[in-house]
Chains A and B, each alone.
Chain A
Amino acid sequence: MKVNFNNRDPVYVQVVRYFKQQIATNMLEPGQEIPSRRELASELKINPNTVQRAYKEMEEAGLIYTERNLPSKITKDEKMLHSVREELIIEAVDSFVASVHSIQVPFEEVVAILKEKYEEVSDENKRGESND
């Protein structure tokens, strides 16, 4: 697990975002146990209080749940999982659109380049996988 934190966003927000990415890409599966506050703190080299805060936020948002004294687990709520994915996609597209828009590229041109680049990346990934 390796996260590059930036210094200007709250670290707990960055931790939550990191979990959402992991959930959206199925690196963390529904019902999977997550590390304890202490484990995650030493793994990410951040303050345990910050991890605590991130877990609290995720618990309140329904991303994770805790039964009695057992370790917290990723939610099994399909709707929630789906919305995490949606949220990440929309977030990414939003920032993409914002930067493309600021250099005033016509929509059709963007789509063409997007398609080309997307295929390139997918091919590379496929080649990478077959090489393994």
Chain B
Amino acid sequence: MIEVHNIIKKFGRKQVLKGVNFTAKKGEITCLIGINGVGKTTIMNAIMALTPINKGSIQIDGKAIKKDTFDRITFIPDAITVLPHMTIEESMQFMRDYYKSWNDQRALELLSFFKLNPDEKIASLSKGNTAKVNLLLGLALDVDYVLMDEPFSGIDMFSREQIANVFTSHLIEDRGVIITTHEINDIEHLIDKVILLDDGVVIKQFNTEEMREVEGKSVVDVMREVYQS
């Protein structure tokens, strides 16, 4: 379980996160929703120790992050994290070189799942394919938790569909996923848990099936209620 406990983050004098609390379980897809600039990416960066927090704590399976944790949790930001002159094959080799958790078989599977050409250079990829390579490099790691920042933003419909299909496939199997998005439509039926952020705090969190069952509301209904009141 990933536990985010009361984190506060300031940029200069501005408090961006004002005490954020939530948990994300293994085997579940947790979705962080909020308008741009609400601090979703900052939360992800904080979980991965890529930016310091001013207060609060973050634990992964009960422990603070350390170097070995990066073989158990991975973050797929919305920009690609390998170098432009590398080919897809070379970037896979780079990952294989450093990560114990790299799974070659799964990497090949993802390669064919996304219909990517391993000899193509990162720099020459379309936006959609860049996003797919980004996902490939993260998902080919045998990790317990995957964090994804806006995997659907700025890419074409067919790529979006393909990426959404990953979530229902065995490629995500039993992992804990945290995903940020400001567009829920692509994944409304895929997610287990929703965390709504506004003005630096979690204003509502709920289980999607429970919400439908108990209150008969869709995720969008709840968002409308919360954000437009």
Contacts and interface: CB of A to CB of B under 8 A. Distances in A.
**Do A and B associate with each other?**
yes
Interface of A: 5, 7-13, 38, 41-42, 44-50, 53
Given A8-B216, A46-B189, A47-B190, 7 more contacts: A8-B218, A11-B212, A13-B213, A38-B169, A46-B168, A47-B189, A47-B192
B221 A47 contact: no
A13 to B, nearest CB: 7
B188 A7 contact: yes
A12 B173 CA distance: 19
B209 interface: yes
A45 B168 CA distance: 6
Contacts of B189: 5, 11, 45-47, 50
Interface string B211-223: 0110011111100
A45 B166 CA distance: 9
Interface in B127-146: none
B165 interface: yes
Interface string B26-64: 011100000000000000000000000000000000000
B28 A8 contact: no
B209 A12 contact: yes
A93 B218 CA distance: 27
A41 B168 contact: yes
Contacts of B191: 47
The 8 closest A-B pairs by CB, nearest first: A7-B218, A42-B168, A10-B213, A10-B212, A41-B168, A46-B189, A10-B209, A8-B218
